[in-house]
Amino acid sequence: MLFYIIAAIVMIIDQASKRLVRLYMELGESIPVHRLLQFTYIENDGMARGLFPGYARLFALVAVLFVAGILYYRKKGELRGTLMDIGTGFMVGGAVGNAIDRIVLGTVTDFLAFGSGRGVMNIADLAINIGVLFMIIAMIQNYVSQKSKSEHVNEG
């Protein structure tokens, strides 16, 4: 259940924030928020950092396949545990949020600019990064646990 709740919350917050940006900011407008963050409204019809421009709808298909893959491996029981639920929930919520933009608008609304020269992203992108971090932590935890069990068995 945690997986679905996180995925839904991420998708809702992502879509709401993008809608607010499109309603209240002009394309190309920047608003300083903090010395490390500014809101800069851009539309991205490619992927991360504007790579492969013009392929937004193709990347929507990639997102759908990614979500299907996560759901498949969850059903098989290969993505288990709280950390994995959190990680995959963030990643799926982010993938769905960006896929909605790509399908409906043909572009992704980006507005979060951290520091200079780091590119512009959105809540979905942040969620995907957070999800990857949680999955890495889960895999490390699983590895350490398995190694510990293996060493315990070898001692006996």
Q: With cut-offs at 50, 70 and 90, classify the pLDDT of residue 43.
A: very high
pLDDT at 155 over 70: no
Q: Flag whether 61 is in a domain.
A: yes
Domain that holds residue 23: 2-145
Residue 134: count of CB within 10 angstroms of its CB: 21
Output the pLDDT for position 42. 92
pLDDT for position 35: 84
Can you tell me the mean pLDDT for 5-27? Answer: 97
Determine the average pLDDT of the residues in 38-44: 92
Structural domain contains residue 150: no
- Residue 116 confidence (pLDDT): 67
Give the angle subtended at the CA of 34 by the CAs of 31 and 36, to the nearest 5°.
Answer: 105
Amino acid at 96: V
Which residues are catalytic, by number?
A: 110, 125
Q: Mark residue 54 as left, alpha or beta (left: phi above 0; alpha: psi -120 to 50; beta: remaining).
A: left
Mean pLDDT of the chain, nearest integer: 87
Model confidence at 55: pLDDT above 80:
no
Average the pLDDT over 39-50 and give the result: 77
- Is there a domain that residue 52 lies in? yes
In a domain, 71, yes or no: yes
Helices (H), the chain: 2-24, 56-75, 82-104, 123-155
Number of domains in the chain: 1
Q: Per the domain annotation, does 73 fall within a domain?
A: yes
In a 10 Å sphere around its CB, with 0-12 CB exposed, 13-18 middle and 19+ buried, how is residue 125 labelled? buried
pLDDT exceeds 70 at position 77: yes
In a domain, 35, yes or no: yes
- Is residue 108 one of the residues assigned to a domain? yes
Residue 118 lies in a domain: yes
